[in-house]
Amino acid sequence: MSEKELKERINNQIRVRELRVIGIDGENLGVLSFEEALKIAVSNGLDLIEVSPEARPPVAKIADYGKYAYEQAKKAKKMKAGAHITETKSVQVKIATGEHDLEMKARQASKWLSEGHRIKAELFLAGRAKGMPDEFLRERMDRFLNLITVAYKISEPYKKGPKGPIITIEKVK
């Protein structure tokens, strides 16, 4: 059972004296005693569902519990499907990477950005390259960033990583 199902009490599970009751067609029936509200629900062949137990007085709805639970599950599923999970994708570039390879990596990075992912671009330095001036390394990284076709913003500026400079970018919303 989900947390939502545990929170909702129906019919005789409700333990309050007064409830604000919402009728069958969504109209507000006002604040009624628990017994009155349950009588109305039972006379219509429906359930009394406590939808907002934290409110003062708690809010209950007269509806068919099976339909209500189905609608809630459908809403939750739709919200979950609409939620987009972003990842941080990595692109590694070397100082001597050729122009065509840079274009391919930039095209892939552009695709990931358009999907909403973040990109961590890393300039991989080996051996002597680690001692090169920062301006030269930054220019090499900018060469790659200029090839990206999707509008982006820098979320984490240049910083030194264990393998070389790293920059993180994400799509402009």
Helix H or strand E encompassing 71: helix 65-82
Query: What is the domain count for the chain?
Result: 2
Q: What is the value of pTM for the model shown?
A: 0.52
Please check whether residues 78 and 104 belong to one and the same domain.
no
Q: What are phi and psi of 5, to 5 degrees?
A: -65, -30
CATH number of the structural domain spanning residue 131: 3.30.110.10
Range of the domain at 139: 88-171
Please check whether residues 34 and 13 belong to one and the same domain.
yes
- Out of 50, 82, 114, a domain closes at 82
Contacts of 112 (CB under 8 A, 6+ apart): 89, 119
CATH number of the structural domain spanning residue 65: 3.10.20.80
Nearest to 44 by CA among 26, 29, 63: 63
- 4 confidence band (pLDDT: 50, 70, 90): very low
What per-residue confidence (pLDDT) applies to 47?
87
- Out of 82, 114, 139, a domain closes at 82
- 7 confidence band (pLDDT: 50, 70, 90): low
